[in-house]
Amino acid sequence: MEFVERDPLAASLGSLKLQRPFYEQTTVAVARQLIGKYLVCHHPEGTTTGRIVETEAYVGPDDRACHASRGRTQRTEVMFGPAGHAYVYFIYGFHYMLNIVTEPAGRPAAVLIRAVQPVAGIPLMLRRRRSDRVRNLANGPGKLCEAFKINRAFNGIDMCGDLLYVEDRGEPAPKILARPRIGVDYAGRWRHKPWRFLLRGSEFVSRM
């Protein structure tokens, strides 16, 4: 049980913060195991929490869908560092994407958090998203970042710290589906890899 932290407060609540060894596992293993865990973000405006229902694995330099396949650049630098750090980037001129770096330093890979089921801080998320439907708050990677107010300031932060992290709340292993990743049609044979993971039956995924 080296993956979690025995923080007395967290333990008393039945929750354990995921620690670095968890994120150092293979990227596909991390992506799969993150399903059903809880993403927590503390912010002056309030705390937001969501149960992770959808992830994607971007496994390294060979994976043509992974940004690291285009080399070590300013943008991808975080992915080349140690596991358990946030890789946040801006895309399409509108949206931020939240990833968690995986595998030991020097092996650039990450897991994209694509959707969560809102659990706490829902009024705050409704305001940020200018929406009135809970199902529409974080059912997509861009929406999730808007609901949690995750932006470039989060790039590189340690997710084993106290600002943004993932908790294991000790629930039984959920039923998980594996599907091809979304939006990577350009990636040749890599586009078919079943590295998108979903919580079976969840209505909070970006699409079925």
Residue 136 binds DNA (CB under 7 A): yes
Residue 20 binds DNA (CB under 7 A): no
Q: What is the nearest approach in angstroms of DNA to the Cβ of residue 62?
A: 13
Query: What is the token pair recorded at 100?
Result: 């968690």
Q: Of 160 and 184, which has the nearer Cβ to DNA?
A: 184
Residue 39 binds DNA (CB under 7 A): no
Residue 103 binds DNA (CB under 7 A): no
Residue 202 binds DNA (CB under 7 A): no
Residue 184 binds DNA (CB under 7 A): yes
CA–CA separation, 139 vs 205, rounded Å? Answer: 5
Q: Report whether 158 contacts 85 (CB < 8 A).
A: yes
CA–CA separation, 138 vs 41, rounded Å? Answer: 13
State the amino acid at position 101 in one-letter form. Answer: V
Residue 12 binds DNA (CB under 7 A): no
Q: Of 16 and 34, which has the nearer Cβ to DNA?
A: 34
CA–CA separation, 116 vs 128, rounded Å? Answer: 15
Q: Measuring CA to CA, how many Å separate 23 from each of 6, 94, 125? A: 17, 28, 27
The per-residue b/e assignment along 167-185, b for 16 or more CB within 10 angstroms, e otherwise, is bbeeeeebebbeeebbebe
- Interface pattern 48-87 for DNA (x via CB under 7 A): --------x-x------xxxx-xx-xxxx----------x
Q: What is the nearest approach in angstroms of DNA to the Cβ of residue 137?
A: 9
Binding site for DNA (CB under 7 A): 56, 58, 65-68, 70-71, 73-76, 87, 89-95, 97, 99, 110, 112, 129, 131, 136, 140-144, 181-184, 186, 206
